[in-house]
Amino acid sequence: MKELIPILVFTPALGALLQTLNPRPAISRTLAIVASLVSAVAAIALFVQMDPGLETPKYVVAWMRSYSIHFALGVDGLNLLPMLVTAFVFPFLLISEWDRQFGRRGIHALLLLLETGILGALCAGDLFLLLFFLMLTPIPLYFLASIWGDEGRETSAFRMVSVSLVASACLFFGILLIYHAVDPHTFLIEDLAGKLAGKTTEIFGISVELQHIAFPLIVFGLALRAPFWPLQGWFRKFILKVPTTVAVGALLAGFPVALTVFTRIGFVLFPETMKAHLDVWIGIGIANLVFGALTLLQESDLRGILVSLSSVFAGFSLLGIGTAHPTGLVGSQFILFSSMVALAVWGFASEILRYRTRTYAIAEIQGVLRTLPDLGSATLLSIACAVGIPGTAGFISFALLYMGAFNYHPGVVLAALVVSLVVTGFLIQVYRRIFLGEKVQERFTRLGFRERLLLIPLAGVAICVGFFPSPFVEIVRATITKVLA
Amino acid sequence: MDAELLSSPSSLLVVWIAALSFAIVTAAIAGLFPERLEKIRTSAFAIFAFPGMLFALVYAARGFGVLERPIVHWVFDKGAQDALHLGLVFDPVSFVAVFFAGAAAVAIAIRNRPTIRTSSALVLSWVGLGLAATAQTIWMAILGIGIQILSRTFPLTESAERTAGVDARWIASAKRAWIGLASLLCGGAGLASQGIHLDFLASTPWSSLEATPSAIVAGALLVFGLLVIATPALSSSALHESNDRTVEENLFVSETSLGWIAVLIFYRAFGNLHEEVWLLSVGVGAAVSTAFSIAALTFQSSRTSAIHLWLATAPVATLVLLPFLPAREANLLLLGALVATNGLWVAIDHPRTKADVATAAAFYLGATGFVGWATSAGYANFFSRLESDPALRIPIFLLLLLYQAFGWRLVVRGGDRKENPAPAAKWAALGIFFVLGFGPLMSGRFGGGALPGEPDWIEGAKAWPWIKAATEGSETDWAGFGLSQGLVLVAALFGIFAWRSSELFPFSKKYPGGERAAKGLFGLGWIQEGFSGAFRRMGAYWTESVSATFWERGIPAVGLATLGALRKIARFVEAAVDPLTSEGYGRIFTPAAKLVQWLHGGNVRLYAWFALIWILIFSIYLTR
């Protein structure tokens, strides 16, 4: 089973390579889809073969032996759901770019490279490898934005790269401190577990506890990458300049990866520090909720809604992590899954609308449901999933999150509830404005097969996981229980 | 067919789930691909719900015994403290809720001839009610609410395709349902996190919950959420929109189902709700909801709209009394109210022949606790304890008096409908109601499983107030009997004589400001217009003023100032130490100066170009 992990991670990169080598453009997009689908199938196969009672699959080979750097990839309950949603969404991202006239091979290759970066970062079991994949993801994003973005794209792309470099520098510094603090030196997370408590490092001759320098550096780097409030200004400007397909890819590379890595490093390498600062995580989570909800209310662009919603979801997920309770943590993982499914559907719907209306401006689109009922239904389902209507994956996320949060403090739940109501009210209002509203004369082209393909499977996944969450829950819970113990 | 399947009570429920699944799948297909199924729109409800209705009839034929399946875990292991459970139970309450709501919906669907999408929504709405009525755990019931809410997608699509603006009705109801559901979800999760699962047939008492802040918040959220779900007045703004009356009726049939789901959850949870303070809060909350409904009713200008709101309020009006009643009276009140109000849906909104009025009046008396109906047991029991708690019971008496007076007025005057498009369907449905509902309720036949520990119908009939008063003969029993019957009679008189004007409710014309206020208040318009505007301005302020100022100007300014200061210090130090060191020592500060430039944004392109040039080549190759 462990052989499936490199297939999962590197098949998209191979697909990207084939885009450049393939002399026949006619089959290039088929190759791209196939590469992404192979990765998706590997992800599903891994999930099907996993058993909560058995050891989780790991693929470890020495990479740079003299520096104890390993090529270590693994799948467990801490990365299963983000991994699945990434592997599942990316084929649809490629399909959504199926008919692009300009640079289709390029966008497909870069999306595949981005997929490898995200999956690698999610599955990395070695800190150096983690850094490698984290530093890889901004590269395709940079070109995706700077080539296919809107006016002002270069500035946004450069800002993204600059911020990513700062974040990576912080992460690299923190990781190096960890590497040097243990003897023998290693980057393997599994080997580092339990060995960092009380370790110190010297900086300019001053002895500092590792938990006071390495962990904050890593947290800051991840917060910048996610990005969390108040570090998210660059991300909003980036997303507003790129096509929604790229925006969904960037979102997948953002808070799901950052929070997965944060959970793993926090609870595996620095458990005491993590648990001693639960108030901080909860506080940042609530700040993200409040800020995300407030910015959401003034959004006038369909892509802006993606950014603000991602801030809200990152806040919800961080609340779950901050509870340090198994149920809350499972809820946090589920939030990553359900929110990305919902955001992907919203993103595809936005792109379909833009294709017909030539705009992302909410105020300029109305009465869509009359001619595109399928799109309206799918978007409504994505909203239902995002806000946690029973029968969707979002419901499981919120139920578990609230259960965990109640164990922490009921005030947290009340704050989350208020934000949830505000967000729902806004989404219903936006839905009404775009899809309902006054009747317009223009009749849009009906959805084509590929457009339906973008919406129906994802909506189906949201419902299936909503009714049958148990297989996912059990695997995630088993790992989390083990980690917390 | 496997004979054991139908003989085993536990396995029989598999058939029930299969019937619901059939209804869900067929309704979803019809809703998503309506073109080819439009021909069967009149009979769509009957076809899709047929297996479920047949199951209910088979259940009745088997003698109303309780069918129960062991609870299964849905999320987490069954033994885990915070596991979410699912379970099914089919008892007389389930039968009455499922069968009579289904029968009423069949008649309404034949009468209104809704489009196939609306029919699908009505089927899903009925499935939601069916799931909640047969739920053994609160999570199963919540799934029912979820299906109920999702069912509104189809009519929303339908109305949007046809005319502009009519979606306001569905949006208003969806908003209310979501607020209630979110609160209910939080409350349920809070209780589950403390090991209180509200598994309806389990013995875990609510009172075992310690009075911690978490428990109080969770309980309050649960009760609040259910009350919001049970209060259709909160979406009564929909009734002020100009609309097609049949569409409005379809919506409020759905709203009533949602109300009954909330009442059923309360009823099922009563076994676990031993704490008086919670019961009191439920009863008082329901009374406040009923008062809201009366306020909204006052400003209705259309008789049909008033009928729809009055009927949709019936669940919460029933809930006013329910928490204060002993088990058998509560059971009879709920069963009787379900039969009577569903019958009233079919009977009330028709041309006013004497037969129509008489039929509607009969069901009205059932809904309001008149002698001869099962509901009278509950009313009599509640008012028999007037002396013990007058501060609670007298206001409730007056509240119900007003509510019932409105109802009687509506029964006498009827709706706005000019014709009865399907009289046969109406009388057939009402016949079924009398045979399967009125008859068994009168005889106490539902006592086969409904009245705890009283399988015999004669024993069951002892719950009827007049028999109880006659056999036990206490003064309080007689007083309760008299008061409950007086309530209906006075309400009827009040309804006839208080508003004798030709207009049913003249208040909307007399006080247009009041109508506007009611519309805004109950449509949650104040959230949209007031708070939403304030929030939006606050959000804009945060992003444009606070965040942008902080990131675009603040941080660079601070960084610039800091590095400028460092550079000045460096120059000063360099000047000071220059004689002691080699020339150009200050170059170590060059990176800082570069950083300043970087923060300015001046040279950022240069650095990035150097770092990324190889990738550019790659990209140019790809996109050539």
CB contact under 8 A, B150 and A389: yes
Q: Out of B139, B548, B623, name the one closest to residue A103 (CB).
A: B623
- Model confidence band, residue B302 (pLDDT cutoffs 50, 70, 90): confident
**A345 part of a folded domain:** yes
Q: What was the pLDDT predicted at A426? A: 85
DSSP 8-state assignment for residue B527:
I
Q: Out of A103, A429, A435, name the one closest to residue B528 (CB).
A: A429
Q: What was the pLDDT predicted at B447? A: 41
- Indicate the pTM of the whole model: 0.82
Q: Which neighbouring-strand residues pair with A201?
A: A208
Higher pLDDT pick, A226 / B508: A226
Range B184-206 average pLDDT:
78
CB contact under 8 A, B171 and A436: yes
Least confident of B21-35, B397-411, B436-450: B436-450
Give the span between the Cα atoms of A164 and A221, in whole angstroms: 8
Cα B478 to Cα A280, A320, A404, B381, distances in angstroms = 64, 57, 52, 10
CB contact under 8 A, B156 and A380: yes
Residue B607 pLDDT > 60: no
Q: What was the pLDDT predicted at B1? A: 38
Residue B101 pLDDT > 70: yes
- Block residue for tokens 């998706």: A40
Q: What was the pLDDT predicted at B547? A: 62
Quick one: which H or E segment has residue B129?
A: helix B116-133
Q: Which residues contact B368 (CB under 8 A, 6 or more apart)?
A: B375, B379, B400, B404, B407, B487, B488, B491
Higher pLDDT pick, A218 / A231: A218
Give the span between the Cα atoms of A405 and A321, in whole angstroms: 9
Higher pLDDT pick, B373 / A190: A190
- Chain A residues touching B146 at Cβ < 8 A: 389-392, 395
On whether the CB atoms of residues B110 and B43 are closer than 8 A, the answer is yes
- Chain A residues touching B28 at Cβ < 8 A: none
| Nearest CA-CA partner of B243 in B190, B185, B164, B179 | B164
Domain count, chain A: 1
**A213 part of a folded domain:** no
CB contact under 8 A, A402 and B551: no
On whether the CB atoms of residues B273 and B214 are closer than 8 A, the answer is no
Q: What was the pLDDT predicted at A34? A: 94
Residue A123 pLDDT > 90: yes
Predicted ipTM?
Answer: 0.84
Q: How many CB atoms lie within 10 A of CB A234?
A: 17
Model pLDDT for residues B303-348, shown as the tens digit of each residue: 888 888 899 899 999 999 988 888 778 888 888 899 888 888 888 8
Q: Work out the percent of chain A whose per-residue pLDDT is above 90.
A: 47
Q: What was the pLDDT predicted at A23? A: 64
**A124 part of a folded domain:** no
Residue B455 pLDDT > 60: no
Model pLDDT for residues A242-253, shown as the tens digit of each residue: 989 999 999 999
B526 vs A: CB within 8 A: no
Higher pLDDT pick, B123 / B478: B123
B489 vs A: CB within 8 A: no
- Chain B residues touching A162 at Cβ < 8 A: 598, 604, 608
Least confident of A332-346, B355-369, B428-442: B428-442
Q: Which residue of A has its CA nearest to B218?
A: A410
Residue B5 pLDDT > 60: no
Contact residues, A window 133-172, toward B, CB-based 8 Å cutoff = 139, 142-143, 147, 158, 161-162, 165
Residue B271 pLDDT > 70: no
Q: What was the pLDDT predicted at B585? A: 40
- Model confidence band, residue B464 (pLDDT cutoffs 50, 70, 90): low
**A348 part of a folded domain:** yes
CB contact under 8 A, B182 and A236: no
B428 vs A: CB within 8 A: no
On whether the CB atoms of residues A282 and A408 are closer than 8 A, the answer is yes
Residue B582 pLDDT > 80: no
Higher pLDDT pick, A32 / B447: A32
Model pLDDT for residues A78-98, shown as the tens digit of each residue: 999 999 999 999 999 999 988
Distance from the B249 Cα atom to the nearest Cα atom in chain A, whole angstroms: 21
**A106 part of a folded domain:** no
Sign of CA dihedral A162, A164, A167, A168: negative
Least confident of A42-51, B248-257, B288-297, B531-540: B531-540
Distance from the B551 Cα atom to the nearest Cα atom in chain A, whole angstroms: 7
**A230 part of a folded domain:** no
Q: What was the pLDDT predicted at B471? A: 57
Alpha helices in B243-275 (DSSP H): 245-269
Q: What was the pLDDT predicted at A195? A: 86
Residue A199 pLDDT > 80: yes
Q: How many CB atoms lie within 10 A of CB B6?
A: 13
Give the span between the Cα atoms of B583 and A160, in whole angstroms: 39
Higher pLDDT pick, A437 / B524: A437
Sign of CA dihedral B560, B565, B568, B570: negative
Give the span between the Cα atoms of A131 and A250, in whole angstroms: 17
Least confident of A44-53, A138-147, B169-178, B282-291: B169-178
B543 vs A: CB within 8 A: yes
- Model confidence band, residue B275 (pLDDT cutoffs 50, 70, 90): low
CB contact under 8 A, A406 and B147: no
Range B533-541 average pLDDT:
67
Q: What was the pLDDT predicted at A430? A: 85
Distance from the A26 Cα atom to the nearest Cα atom in chain B, whole angstroms: 14
Give the span between the Cα atoms of A156 and B68, in whole angstroms: 61
The three-point CA angle A129-A133-A137 to 5° equals: 170
Residue B581 pLDDT > 60: no
Residue A314 pLDDT > 80: yes
Q: Tell me which residue range forms the domain holding A438.
A: 277-485
Q: Out of B150, B190, B217, name the one closest to residue A391 (CB).
A: B150
Q: What was the pLDDT predicted at B587? A: 53
Model pLDDT for residues A363-406, shown as the tens digit of each residue: 888 778 777 878 888 888 899 999 888 889 999 999 999 999 98
Choose from B29, B131, B543, B550 for mutation: most chain A CBs within 10 A. Answer: B543
Model pLDDT for residues A139-170, shown as the tens digit of each residue: 999 999 988 888 888 888 888 888 888 889 88
Residue A172 pLDDT > 60: yes
Average pLDDT, chain B: 75
Residue A268 pLDDT > 50: yes
Q: Which residue of A has its CA nearest to B185?
A: A399
Higher pLDDT pick, B527 / B368: B368
Cα A220 to Cα A162, A174, A276, distances in angstroms = 15, 10, 17
On whether the CB atoms of residues A39 and A87 are closer than 8 A, the answer is yes
- Model confidence band, residue B126 (pLDDT cutoffs 50, 70, 90): very high
Q: What was the pLDDT predicted at A299? A: 83
Peptide bond just before A23 cis, omega within 30 deg: no
Peptide bond just before A140 cis, omega within 30 deg: no
Q: Which neighbouring-strand residues pair with A207?
A: A202
- Model confidence band, residue B521 (pLDDT cutoffs 50, 70, 90): low
A417 vs B: CB within 8 A: yes
Q: Out of A369, A391, A413, name the one closest to residue B190 (CB).
A: A413
Q: Can you tell me whether residue B220 is helix, strand or coil?
A: helix
Give the span between the Cα atoms of B119 and B109, in whole angstroms: 7
Range B383-404 average pLDDT:
86
How would you label A178-213 residue by residue, b for 16+ Cβ within 10 Å and e otherwise? Answer: bbebeeeebbbbebbeeebeebebeeeeeeebbbeb
- Model confidence band, residue B593 (pLDDT cutoffs 50, 70, 90): low
B142 vs A: CB within 8 A: yes
Q: What was the pLDDT predicted at B227? A: 92
On whether the CB atoms of residues B368 and B375 are closer than 8 A, the answer is yes
**A168 part of a folded domain:** no
Distance from the A179 Cα atom to the nearest Cα atom in chain B, whole angstroms: 26
Residue B33 pLDDT > 50: yes
- Chain A residues touching B120 at Cβ < 8 A: none
Q: What was the pLDDT predicted at B216? A: 84
- Model confidence band, residue B448 (pLDDT cutoffs 50, 70, 90): very low
Higher pLDDT pick, B41 / A254: A254
Q: What was the pLDDT predicted at A333? A: 94
Q: What share of chain A is helix, strand, coil (3-state, %, to 5)?
A: 75, 5, 20
How would you label B79-103 residue by residue, b for 16+ Cβ within 10 Å and e otherwise? Answer: eeebbbbbbbbbbbbbbbbbbbbbb
**A158 part of a folded domain:** no
- Block residue for tokens 């994802």: A458
